[in-house]
Amino acid sequence: MILEILGEGIIKMTELLKIENLYVKIDEKEILHGLNLQINSGEVHAVMGRNGSGKSTFSNTLMGHPAYKISSGQISFDKKAINDLKPNDRAKLGLFLGFQYPLSIPGVTVANFLRQANKALKGDSVSPRDFRKLLYEKMDDLEIEHAFATRYVNDGFSGGEKKRMEILQMAMLEPRLAILDEPDSGLDIDSLKLVAESINKYKQKNPLVAILLVTHYQRILDYIKPDKVHVFIDGNIVESGGPELALELEKKGYDWLTGKEAIKA
C-alpha cells in the first residue's frame, strides 16, 4: 500500500512521482537542465512559465514521448524508475497526459476510442451498456453533447471542445497522476469553469489522485487550488511556493525570476 488512511480524513501523503536531476534533449538540443520535483499522492502541483520555457517538454517526457530523450537523471513512479517505459506502460501504471494540442483520429469514434483505451488499461470488465452510461454521465459533467460519442476523435472539434475531451478522457480512464498541459488555453470563461469543475470533481471522488497542472495563466488556479506552485524558466524550476506564488506572478510577471538559479534536489 502506498498510503495509510489515519481516520478522520487525515491522509498520510506518500511519494508518487519523483524527478531527480532530469536532463532532456530533443534533436540534440538540451531543453530541460537538471529538474527536481516530488509529487505525493493527493497533491495538486501547478507548473507555470512562459511559452517556450519547457513545460510541454516536461509533460511529454513524463509520459514517455519517444522524441524527447533523457540524457541523465531519473523519473520514478511509486519509487520505481520509469525512464525506459513506453507510454502505454506508463499509462498502465496510472499516468495520464492531457495534451496541449490533442490530435484527431479520423474514422474512430470517441466512444470506441475510450472503450478500447479503457479495455487496455483496466481489462474488459465493463459491459458496453454500463460503459456508455458512464460515458454519458461524464459527458454531462462537461456539458458535452452525447452526440459527440459517435463523432470521430477531435476531428473537426473546436479548440475548446478538444480541451473538454481531454478532461473527459481523464475522467473515464481514472489515472493516479494526471498531467494536464494547459487545459485552460483557448477556453472562454464558461468552458474554463466547466473544465475546472470536472477536474475538481474527479479529485474529490479520488482524493489520492495527484494532479500536475501546467498553465501560464493564474486564472484556472482560482478554481483549482494548488498545494504547490513551481515556476519554469528556460527548462528549470527556479522558484517553488504555495498558491500565493501564482498571485505574485500574476502581479509581477516572470521577469523578476529570470536568471535565478535552478532549485536543487
Ligand X SMILES: Nc1ncnc2c1ncn2[C@@H]1O[C@H](COP(=O)(O)OP(=O)(O)O)[C@@H](O)[C@H]1O
Tell me the CA distances in angstroms from 227 to 26, 137, 190, 204, one per residue in order.
Answer: 31, 29, 24, 15
CA atoms within 13 A on the CB side of 207: 8
Nearest distance, CB of residue 209 and other proteins, angstroms: 17
Nearest distance, CB of residue 220 and ligand X, angstroms: 15
Phi-psi region of 56 (alpha: psi -120 to 50; beta: other; left: phi over 0): alpha
Closer residue to ligand X in complex, CB, 5/67? 67
By CB under 8 A, is residue 116 in contact with other proteins? yes
Nearest distance, CB of residue 59 and ligand X, angstroms: 7
Helix (H, G, I), strand (E, B) or coil at 87: helix
Tell me the CA distances in angstroms from 37 to 32, 59, 205, 221, one per residue in order.
Answer: 13, 13, 25, 20
Closer residue to ligand X in complex, CB, 55/90? 55
By CB under 8 A, is residue 26 in contact with other proteins? no
By CB under 8 A, is residue 63 in contact with other proteins? yes
Helix (H, G, I), strand (E, B) or coil at 104: coil
User: Which of positions 131-190 make contact with other proteins (CB under 8 A)?
Assistant: 152, 169, 173
Closer residue to other proteins in complex, CB, 83/258? 83
Stretch that binds ligand X, among 8-16, 46-54, 129-137, 248-256 (CB under 6 A): 46-54
Q: Are strands 69-77 and 15-26 parallel, antiparallel or unpaired?
A: antiparallel
Stretch that binds other proteins, among 25-33, 58-66, 124-132, 180-188 (CB under 8 A): 58-66
By CB under 8 A, is residue 120 in contact with other proteins? yes
Nearest distance, CB of residue 250 and other proteins, angstroms: 31
Residue 90: enclosing H or E segment and its boundaries? Answer: helix 87-93
By CB under 6 A, is residue 154 in contact with ligand X? no
Closer residue to ligand X in complex, CB, 42/49? 49
**Using CA atoms, how far apart are residues 75 and 148, in angstroms rounded to an integer?**
36
Q: Which of 60, 33, 68, 24 lies closest to 236 in space, CA to CA?
A: 33
What's the longest Cα–Cα distance across the chain?
Answer: 56
By CB under 6 A, is residue 55 in contact with ligand X? yes
Contacts with other proteins by CB under 8 A lie at 60, 63-67, 86-88, 90-92, 96-97, 99, 102-103, 105-108, 113, 116-118, 120-121, 152, 169, 173
